[in-house]
């Protein structure tokens, strides 16, 4: 690799304080660890994202393909100031979210991918990345758009986001913003999680990011084949 050329291509990065891991108790009673991962985790995460790019339901294909590209871009130093949080239950990856910083005041929410459905995993992970941007990185606002009706309901309606002029980095629909004030107004209602994560639960999460088989991922998203009578 020609590091001289590479030095022109790699974006500079802003030093970020880490996101402290937390544990969310789901409706099933299951414990989902939400934690930050670094670049090294990307190849593992891509294995979980790959099957989603062929699932049209609820725009998984659009979200999956874009998230796949964003994570590769981050892994290979072509996206500036990206961060990624994951959700794991007993080590198994159940969801991924990513964002990037646009300025010291503003973050841009990129994607939310829930592999387990029906448990608000996407909503919990989205809330976690808002928590990171506002509470730990000290941003004043996060710019958000939605690619699916579910996303629109979860973000724009549940948080009561403000419409903004211009375009979101992802293009698409009107950009919206979650401001610091709106975040704290909604926090008790929408942001879950307890810290610190019990040692034994954290150890399982950190030991290995387990990825379900491609078939299982498709079934988790589309519903399992039913043996009807």
**Nearest Cα to Cα of residue 211 among 26, 99, 87, 128:** 87
Judged by CB under 8 A, the stretch of 69-77, 98-106, 183-191, 209-217 that binds another protein is 183-191
190 lines the binding site for another protein (CB under 8 A): yes
- Out of 13, 169, 194, 203, name the contact with another protein by CB under 8 A: 194
Residue count of the chain = 229
Residue 166's region, left for phi above 0, alpha for psi from -120 to 50, else beta, is left
176 φ, ψ (degrees, to nearest 5): -125, 165
Angle made by CA atoms 91, 25, 84, in degrees to the nearest 5: 50
Q: What angle do the packed helices 180-190 and 121-131 form, to 10 degrees?
A: 140
Pick out residues in 50-79 that bind another protein (CB under 8 A): 57
89 lines the binding site for another protein (CB under 8 A): no
Give the nearer residue to another protein in terms of CB position, either 37 or 97: 97
Give the nearer residue to another protein in terms of CB position, either 22 or 111: 22
Cis peptide leading into residue 196 (ω within 30°): yes
Pick out residues in 131-160 that bind another protein (CB under 8 A): 149, 153
118 lines the binding site for another protein (CB under 8 A): yes
189 lines the binding site for another protein (CB under 8 A): yes
27 lines the binding site for another protein (CB under 8 A): yes
Q: What is the largest CA-CA distance in the chain?
A: 66
- Out of 30, 65, 80, 210, name the contact with another protein by CB under 8 A: 30
Give the nearer residue to another protein in terms of CB position, either 70 or 147: 147
């Amino acid at each position: 690799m020609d590091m001289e050329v590479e030095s022109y291509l790699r974006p500079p990065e802003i030093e970020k304080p880490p996101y402290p891991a937390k544990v969310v108790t789901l409706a099933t009673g299951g414990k989902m660890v939400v934690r930050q991962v670094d670049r090294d985790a990307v190849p593992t995460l891509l294995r979980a994202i790959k099957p989603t790019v062929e699932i049209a339901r609820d725009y998984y294909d659009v979200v999956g393909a874009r998230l796949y590209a964003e994570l590769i871009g981050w892994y290979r130093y072509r996206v500036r100031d990206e961060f990624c949080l994951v959700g794991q239950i007993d080590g198994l990856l159940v969801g991924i979210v990513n964002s990037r910083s646009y300025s010291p005041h503003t973050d841009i929410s990129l994607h939310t991918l829930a592999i387990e459905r029906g448990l608000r995993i996407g909503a919990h992970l989205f809330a976690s990345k808002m928590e990171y941007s506002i509470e730990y990185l000290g941003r004043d606002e996060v710019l958000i758009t939605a690619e699916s009706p579910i996303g629109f309901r979860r973000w724009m309606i549940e948080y009561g986001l403000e419409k903004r002029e211009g375009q979101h980095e992802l293009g698409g629909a009107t950009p919206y913003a979650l401001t610091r004030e709106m975040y704290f107004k909604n926090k008790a209602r929408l942001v879950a999680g307890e810290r610190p994560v019990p040692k034994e639960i954290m150890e399982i999460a950190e030991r290995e990011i387990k990825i379900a088989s491609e078939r299982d991922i498709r079934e988790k998203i589309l519903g399992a084949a039913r043996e009807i009578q």
